[in-house]
């Protein structure tokens, strides 16, 4: 039996995925988000992760500190890697975070962050 590949964003702590993830922040919060791209998936590959309405700094890849601490809204998460980003929440509203590959975005590899003022 052939399995279909389904791309998802999953909260490791709750098991929730996609829009079922309850991610909230307040304007002025700074939070670390860990992006884990497991090499154990059916079809391992890299994923360009994008966050709308906020900016972040990539602080580490596989626990190795990043020396290029520049603001960005997208980061490439290579297969088998863990990327830690530090997000500055400065814009209130409902904002998408997702993989920038359309087929993955249209699956459950997308979620939202609610930023309260």
The CATH number of whichever domain residue 78 belongs to comes to: 2.60.40.420
pLDDT digits (tens, 9 = 90+) for 75-109: 999 999 999 999 999 999 999 999 998 888 777 88
State the average pLDDT for the chain. Answer: 92
Task: Answer yes or no: is 65 within a domain.
Answer: yes
Domains contained in the chain, number: 1
Could you give the CA distance from residue 25 to residue 81 in angstroms, rounded to a whole number? 26
Q: Is 31 within a domain?
A: yes
* Structural domain of 52: 18-116
Helix, strand, or coil (residue 103):
helix
pTM over 0.75: yes
pLDDT tens, residue by residue, 58-77: 999 999 999 999 999 999 99
Mean pLDDT of 9-33: 95
């Amino acid at each position: 039996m052939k399995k279909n590949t389904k791309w998802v964003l999953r909260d490791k702590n709750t098991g929730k995925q996609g829009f079922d993830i309850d991610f909230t922040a307040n304007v002025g919060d700074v939070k670390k988000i860990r992006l884990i791209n497991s090499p154990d998936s059916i079809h391992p590959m890299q994923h360009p992760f994008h966050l709308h309405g906020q900016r972040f700094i990539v602080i580490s890849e596989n626990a190795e500190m990043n020396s290029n601490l520049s603001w960005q809204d997208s980061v490439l998460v290579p297969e088998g890697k863990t990327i830690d980003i530090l997000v500055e929440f400065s814009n209130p509203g409902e904002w998408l975070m997702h993989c920038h590959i359309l087929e993955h975005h249209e699956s459950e590899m997308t979620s939202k962050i609610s930023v309260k003022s």
